[in-house]
């Protein structure tokens, strides 16, 4: 089912990913060369055709990184950014890029306060440098920076000048994110009519409209769109890759060539390298994108997913999993289903007690984890606690200013003693790695959060952990202690026991 088909009936859209350039301009983010190469390989691997690898003229380190991305031979077209200067273009050419992206400020405020150039000078520089770039490389993308605040006649002149000089495509950037979808659609339609070259758009998210404006540009006839993974970029960022792709594919029925089942995987890779957590409420890739707590919603999706999910976008389509969460809005059907999955079958009266306790627990401001639900149910049913298959015997953590954090752990796994030692980025990371080293089957740590539930330097820390098993099922558990390493270890072991318990019940 396609909900909207643009009037131009376009069948496909080219994606231009600028995570490695504009995305890296996110305050506090700096990718290493190896990280840039890994991200480039990931993006090309999922089907993104054009990658802006960086701004070579900015530093020797940036040139090295762009060269490395080019040398990786990902199969994607590799682009380098350049100001409207020959030496900037030369820096791109020295890196061996397939495309040079040249830009120049064109709005009055930008010309007066950033480059101090008249419009005639902008036109002359554009003709010269675009022409120079086109003599040396097969593809040249031209951007009139701050296009959406540029006088219309000036915008047409500079775009036409660039195309006449050899630009193979024209990008219309909403540099400060001031456009609305209706205004974007009107502007791009006019540009497409006046400029005889493929039209690209680059939308910023200052008012949360970057994806909407990008889609409006597609409706108006744009043939290429610029995106970043997780919507990274200057200030509030750019149009998000996953959201743009899924809107085009699922809502508009327009192909992007992207392997959508790897969108979550790609988001997490970039999140890890950028050091920026993906918000749980992030559309498509966030942890809550396909999570349900409300009794009506949970009951509905368990009966038929399209009741409270888009239908045209399922969790499996983007590499996600559906999750039922428990709290004060939980319903009987979801709780009963979750307990049935591990062969806990309370009576109707007992189920009412379980539900009452879950709501009371959540009403105190606490997150109800899978482990909490099972413990509550076991108490109500009167079956006693299940003996865990993984038990902690001892843990020792060594850390300091000049000592690499190291954790040594001794555990009993299915009756056999296991010992492991691991280093990490900190004492908790080292402890988590040591635990995983004792397990015979892989378990992936998906989520880790800690909060203080009392005040003072001896505060009690409450740790919540979510782990994923080989089949993609997610289990969460928590623990509290005045030692955050101990709380983290206990929470991790509780979560691992949930995984192993579920596997035994299958």
- Kindly list the domain boundaries of the chain, sorted by start residue: 14-274, 291-381, 390-505
The predicted pLDDT at position 296 comes to 44
Q: Which CATH class is domain 390-505?
A: alpha beta
Taking the C-alpha atoms of residue 47 and residue 21, their distance in angstroms, rounded to an integer, is 19
Residue with tokens 């990658």: 51
pTM: 0.77
* CATH number of this structure's domain 14-274, picked from the four choices 3.90.1150.10, 2.60.120.1440, 2.30.110.10, 3.20.20.70: 3.20.20.70
Distance CA 194, CA 430 (A): 60
- In sequence order, what DSSP letters do the residues of 427-493 get, joined into one string? HHHHHHHHHHHH-SS--EEEEEEEEESS-STTPPEEEEEEEE-TTS-EEEEEEEESSHHHHHHHHHH
Nearest to 308 by CA among 297, 299, 320, 294: 297
Task: Please give the pLDDT value at position 228.
Answer: 98
The pLDDT averaged over each successive group of 10 residues in the chain (506 residues) is: 55 96 95 97 98 97 97 98 98 98 97 94 98 98 97 98 98 98 98 97 98 97 97 97 96 96 93 88 85 47 53 80 60 67 74 74 65 71 69 91 89 92 92 90 81 66 81 78 87 86 68
Specify whether the CB–CB gap between 139 and 169 falls below 8 A.
yes
Confidence (pLDDT) at 298: 41
Q: What is the pLDDT of residue 443?
A: 84
Per-residue confidence (pLDDT) for residue 449, from 0 to 100: 79
In whole angstroms, what separates CA 41 from the centre of its chain?
A: 16
């Amino acid at each position: 089912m396609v909900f909207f088909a643009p009037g131009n009936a376009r069948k496909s859209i080219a994606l231009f990913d600028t995570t490695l350039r504009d995305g890296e301009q996110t305050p506090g983010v700096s990718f290493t060369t190896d990280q840039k190469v890994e991200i480039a390989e990931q993006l090309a691997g999922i089907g993104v055709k054009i990658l802006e690898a960086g701004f070579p003229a900015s530093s020797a380190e940036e040139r090295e990184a762009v060269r490395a991305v080019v040398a990786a031979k990902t199969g994607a077209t590799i682009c380098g950014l350049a100001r409207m200067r020959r030496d900037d273009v030369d820096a791109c050419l020295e890196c061996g890029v397939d495309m040079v992206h040249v830009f120049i400020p064109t709005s009055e405020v930008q010309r007066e306060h950033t480059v101090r150039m008249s419009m005639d000078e902008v036109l002359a520089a554009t003709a010269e440098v675009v022409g120079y770039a086109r003599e040396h490389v097969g593809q040249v993308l031209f951007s009139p920076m701050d296009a959406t605040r540029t006088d219309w006649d000036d915008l047409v002149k500079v775009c036409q000048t660039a195309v006449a000089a050899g630009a193979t495509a024209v990008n219309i950037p909403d540099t400060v994110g001031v456009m609305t979808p209706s205004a974007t659609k009107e502007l791009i339609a006019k540009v497409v009519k006046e400029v005889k070259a493929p039209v690209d758009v680059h939308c910023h998210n200052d008012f949360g409209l970057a994806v909407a404006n990008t889609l409006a540009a597609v409706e108006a006839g744009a043939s290429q769109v610029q995106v970043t993974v997780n919507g990274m970029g200057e200030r509030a960022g750019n149009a998000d890759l996953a959201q743009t792709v899924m809107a085009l594919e699922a809502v508009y029925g327009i192909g992007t060539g992207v392997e959508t089942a790897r969108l979550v995987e790609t988001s997490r890779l970039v999140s890890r390298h950028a050091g920026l957590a993906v918000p749980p409420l992030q559309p498509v890739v966030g942890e809550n994108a396909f999570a349900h707590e409300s009794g009506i919603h949970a009951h509905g999706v368990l009966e038929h997913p399209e009741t409270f999910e888009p239908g045209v976008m399922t969790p499996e389509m983007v590499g996600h999993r559906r999750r039922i969460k428990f709290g004060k809005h939980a319903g009987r059907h979801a709780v009963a289903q979750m307990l049935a999955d591990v062969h806990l079958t309370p009576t109707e009266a007992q189920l009412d007690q379980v539900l009452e306790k879950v709501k009371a627990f959540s009403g105190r401001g606490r997150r109800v984890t899978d482990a909490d639900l099972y413990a509550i149910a076991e108490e109500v049913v009167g079956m006693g606690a299940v003996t865990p298959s993984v038990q902690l015997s001892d843990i020792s953590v060594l850390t300091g200013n000049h000592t690499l954090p190291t954790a040594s752990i001794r555990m009993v796994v299915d009756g056999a003693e296991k010992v492991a030692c691991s280093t990490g980025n900190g004492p908790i990371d080292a402890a988590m790695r040591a635990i995983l080293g004792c397990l015979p089957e892989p378990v992936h740590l998906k989520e880790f959060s800690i909060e203080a539930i009392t005040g003072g330097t001896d505060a009690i820390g409450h740790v919540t952990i979510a782990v994923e098993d080989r089949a993609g099922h997610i289990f969460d558990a928590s623990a509290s202690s005045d030692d955050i390493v101990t709380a983290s270890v206990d929470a991790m072991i509780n979560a691992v026991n949930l995984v192993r318990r579920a596997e035994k019940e299958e």
